[in-house]
Amino acid sequence: MTAPSATPRPTRPARRRPWGEWLTGYAFVLPAALIVGVFGLFPIGYALYMSVHRWRIRQGRFIGLEQYERTVGDFGAFAVFLGAIALVGVAHWLWTDAFRGREGWGRWARVAAAATLLFAGIAFALGWQGMRAAGDERFLLGLVRTFYYGFLSVPVQIALALVLASMLFQPLRGREFYRMIFFLPYVTPVVAAAAVFRNIFNPREERLANTALSWIGVEPQRWLFETTPVMQLWFGDFFARFGIEITGFWAGPSLALLTIILFGIWTYTGYNAVIFLAGLGGIPKELYEAAEIDGASGPQRFMAITVPLLAPITFYLTVLGFIGTFQAFTHLYVMREVAVRDAVDTASLVIFDTFYQRNDFSLAAAQSVVLFLIILGLTLLQNRLFGRRALRG
């Protein structure tokens, strides 16, 4: 006897949500959408609109991409410059994902990645030289100082904050007080703190920074008034013995800019440490106990457990740190001196001077869009290099 064949039941049509639920959902989203649209997307769109018009005090005639050409000099060179950033991501993809799972292709993948990196370096140099040849010299040099500021401050902030958080996470007496002290620079008014730093790093011999240097037998420095690059200032005589003269990008930032970088490190290290402390609270203590039983020392536990498990937080703070340094303005504006503007003006200060002093609104808008594209490219590159590894822990 055969079982009767089961007849499929008719499927019910999906019930459409009533309009009330849709309206309720959009009503909850509307305030956030308005804030993002009015204070985020609208200024970007209006800056794009201003950048393609002749705009001094009031709107003038349409000029197309003229201001962008004044800023970067050559669109082809700028495209090559951005392409060099993208090629670094391509090299990482070749190294990690391109031939995954294919036996015997690992060596070729590494060769292709190395060749791509070499090509990226050549493209970066060619693009930059093309931009320097016909672009806005002051803005392009401001980009160089912005790179100095970002890449010399953010890694130091992250490293110091991670070590500091690990120390403050230990059962120390009065650790809540120490946490408050290290977080205090972040909540201190920026203008007031920058003014104090200007006083500390004054070139006079009796000021605090030079007094501290005199205790260890170092001659006074001009600090915020010194425009000489630090590699020439501190190591110029040493390299001169070998007939080597350090110039250009490799000469490093000026001492005035390096002093401002110290202010940034002082301000944001405590904030990063507090974020790391929150992450340390989520690491199971059993991992440290098991590692200690296995004979791992303190530094070994730190490198094998703490650093990998805090990778998502490190990635988050790094991305926000680079975006923040590329947009930094307030303390740079307060601490710069009139005589050293060409040595400390980052891209954001150049854009402000173009807008406020030269009243060239369209050129300032074009410069801000170029800076936005560079920040976007670097953020995407960081996400490619570190994002997935950080999320995997």
Q: Where exactly are the structural domains of the chain? A: 74-134, 136-392
Give 342 or 76, the one with higher predicted confidence: 76
CATH of 136-392, one of 3.30.70.1380, 3.30.413.10, 3.30.420.40, 1.10.3720.10: 1.10.3720.10
| Window from 90-104, 246-260, 373-387 with minimum mean pLDDT | 90-104
Give me the sign of the Cα torsion angle 251, 348, 53, 43.
positive
pLDDT for 184? 93
Q: What is the pLDDT of residue 179?
A: 87
Q: What is the pTM of this model?
A: 0.85
Query: Measured between alpha carbons, how far apart are the two ends of the chain, in Å?
Result: 59
Which of the four pLDDT bands, split at 50, 70 and 90, describes residue 17? low
Q: What is the pLDDT of residues 79-133, one digit of tens each?
A: 999 999 999 999 988 888 766 666 666 677 788 888 999 999 999 999 999 999 8
Mean pLDDT of 6-14: 55
List Cα–Cα distances, 188 to 94, 156, 183, 258, in angstroms.
46, 20, 9, 21
Could you tell me what percent of the chain has a pLDDT over 70? 92
Chain-wide mean pLDDT for the chain? 88
Q: pLDDT digits over 184-194, tens only? A: 999 999 999 99
Asked whether residue 291 carries a pLDDT value surpassing 50, the answer given is yes
Give the separation between CA 28 and CA 44, rounded to whole angstroms: 25
Neighbouring residues of 284: CB distance < 8 A, sequence distance ≥ 6: none
Average pLDDT score over residue span 47-68? 84
CA 78 to chain centre: 20
**Which residue do the tokens 């495209």 mark?**
79
Give mean pLDDT, residues 246-258: 90
- Cα 250 to chain centroid distance, Å, stands at 20
Q: What is the pLDDT of residues 212-238, one digit of tens each?
A: 999 998 899 999 999 999 999 988 888
DSSP track, 261-328: HHHHHHHHHHHHHHHHHHHHTTS-HHHHHHHHHTT--HHHHIIIIIHHHTHHHHHHHHHHHHHHHHH-
CB within 8 Å of 204: residues ≥ 6 apart: 210, 220
